[in-house]
Structure 1
Amino acid sequence: MSAPAAAPSVATVPGGTAAKVALILLIGLFWGGNWPAVKTVLFEVPPVTLRAVGFTTGAVVLLAWARARGLALRVPAGEVPWLAATGLLNILAFNLCTAFAQLMMPTSRAAIIAFTMPVWATLLAIPLLGERPGMRQAIGLALGMAGMVVLLGPEALRGGGDRLLGPFLVLVAAVSWALGTVLMKRRGRWASHVVVVTGWQYALAALPMVALAAALDDAPTPGSWHLPTWIGLGYHLVFAICIAQMLWFVIVARLTVGQATVATLIIPVVGVSGSILILGDPLTVRVLAALVLVVSSVAFVMVRRRPAAARGQDA
């Protein structure tokens, strides 16, 4: 088997630490804010229908925008297997498994398993990419996972042994997302534009979701939806579906897998903060402690000690 195409290293990609931190913060903001937005929509729209609408909208909008910009919609034959694999893992498998798992178990327990993704991605990157996590990255991951545990509380870890299917599906979702992310990195440089790749990934994921929604869900007509549902749906479609997914593609190309996946640790914290501001959830010591742990995890991974020679040049 030939070596994978080279991907730009963290040291050579355009933009310094500030640009990389900005990408992580945007991912955390858009996907984190998606939690209260989706919760608002789910009061009136079944989950599979919501995913079908989101994937279809993402595919249509992104591919139409690419066409309007004159980008080639045809994907080179060599990239089609990579596009299909990463789309099925990152988008379809993750969303499908979590959708059904949340029917079988509390969302809090599902979330704490889903956001073990950085652990699986870091482990998968060792054999597939040859990455070797350093001490700072290991500490950052440990702090981030500790933040998730504190955020969700010890009660999120409790559950009867007779309810193993739900946790198993969420674990499959987390590993699927991790493997899809590692494969995106392994592919290296893509000839197709990020908008085109993301659009076709959504199109591929939308086909089975639309079929499942038609078979399983009995959704009310859009004319009966209330204003908060429309606002939440708009946020979900624009920021989470169209913008954040493309940013994730960019961030995986710019950072190591370990650094990129730490961005996901911010998402639940932003989601809880949004729930406090938008849904009126209480602000507790647990939330503040989790925020400190997760921010510390990002600092450990992203902020590196400068070499002594570089510090001397600034003197």
Structure 2
Amino acid sequence: MSLALARARLRASPRLAAVLLIAAIGLFWGGNWPAVRFALMELPPFTLRAIGFTTGAVLLLAWARWRRLPLAVPAAEWPWLAATGLFTILGFNLATAFGQLRMPTSQAAIIAFSMPCWALLLAWWLLGQRVTRRQGWGLACGQAGLLLLLGPAALAGGVQGLAGPLIMLGAALSWALGTVLIKKRGSWQSHAVVVTGWQFALCALPMIVMMLALESPPPPASWQASTWLALGYHLLFSICLAQMLWFMNVKRLSVAQSTISTLIIPTVGVSSAILLLGEPLTPRILIALLLTLAAVAIVMLHGQKSS
């Protein structure tokens, strides 16, 4: 009896570890939404992204060096590394920064994490993957949630009312396209930490140039305590720790299983925006969130079943 119990515990521990990883990733990246909004109250977008990308590059490559992973990337992988980094890191993060300046953070998080639905359509177009009937229902739920947020209230605001949602839609499309391009590349010789570290480094260069050319950020000595706390959370938990946990998660689980953690992120993002930023939870936002979660669940759980 004790032997059977020990075996059951051994089988359960990897599952528990996977659940804890998914929960941590969802909490860290979900809480990053209000953290970035707090930082943007004092830091301009290019400055914030220059700091984040540079920190990510230094810490990830230093961690890879400490683990004695080869930092050299094969020549054939550099174009793919640059292209996928352009969409998954630069395009997504820059668009989310500008998008949050033009619309409530809670709504921005919902639109951004419609990404799996757009990735499904792009995979059908670029990879020839068939869209099943069940996945079609997931896409329909996602579109319904998006249309709800882009409804009469946004249209009544004209160009100003649509600017934020459209920027966030661009962020979701950028992340989706980068994800599909990673799949299209197939196998990568370089370690994921090394690839992401060099992607951060490449994306940091244009952000530093844009920061120096277009922005005049306040000196760090004048930053408020909320800015330091928000930036610290963003750099430690989102850029570094969550990214590390994500690599561990993908290594332990299939891609379909690991990406279920994206279900938690908009929920945490909306909840934390309501609690920390004082944004209202209207029936429209709640229904849009539920439709988006249903869409991602249908798409991802279908993939989990078939993986």
1:224 to partner: Cα distance: 1.6
Q: Which residue does 2:79 correspond to in 1?
A: 81
User: How many residues are treated as equivalent by the alignment?
Assistant: 290
In 1, Cα distance between equivalents of 2:29 and 2:285: 18
1:138 to partner: Cα distance: 2.4
1:255 aligns with 2:247: no
Deviations along 1:144-188, one digit per CA (max 9) or x if unpaired, are 443455568752344425888777655544433221110111222
TM-score w.r.t. structure 2 length? 0.76
Q: Which residue does 1:203 correspond to in 2?
A: 201
**Residue type of the partner of 1:268?**
P
1:102 to partner: Cα distance: 6.1
In 2, Cα distance between equivalents of 1:241 and 1:157: 34
More helix by share: 2
Which has the higher mean CA deviation after the structures are superposed, 144-153 or 117-126? Answer: 144-153
In 2, Cα distance between equivalents of 1:269 and 1:148: 15
1:263 to partner: Cα distance: 5.7
Query: Any stretches of 5+ residues in structure 1 without a counterpart?
Result: 1-14, 308-315
Q: Residues 294 and 26 (structure 1 numbering): CA distance in 2 closer, same or farther, change over 3 Å?
A: farther
Kept in 2: contact 1:21–1:302 (CA 8 A): no
Q: CA RMSD in A?
A: 3.8
1:269 aligns with 2:267: yes
In 2, Cα distance between equivalents of 1:171 and 1:66: 33
Kept in 2: contact 1:98–1:110 (CA 8 A): yes
Which has the higher mean CA deviation after the structures are superposed, 188-197 or 60-69? Answer: 188-197
In 2, Cα distance between equivalents of 1:155 and 1:266: 27
Kept in 2: contact 1:144–1:265 (CA 8 A): no
1:48 to partner: Cα distance: 1.1
Kept in 2: contact 1:118–1:141 (CA 8 A): no
SS of the residue 1:175 aligns to: helix
1:230 to partner: Cα distance: 1.5
**Residue type of the partner of 2:42?**
E
Query: Any stretches of 5+ residues in structure 2 without a counterpart?
Result: 1-12
Percent sequence identity over aligned pairs: 61
Which has the higher mean CA deviation after the structures are superposed, 207-216 or 247-256? Answer: 247-256
| 2:215 corresponds to which of 214, 217, 225 | 217
After TM superposition, the structure 1 = structure 2 runs for residues 1-315 of structure 1, keeping only pairs within 5 Å, are 26-99=24-97, 105-106=102-103, 114-148=112-146, 150=148, 154-160=152-158, 171-245=169-243, 251=250, 254-255=254-255, 264=262, 266-303=264-301
In 2, Cα distance between equivalents of 1:39 and 1:303: 31
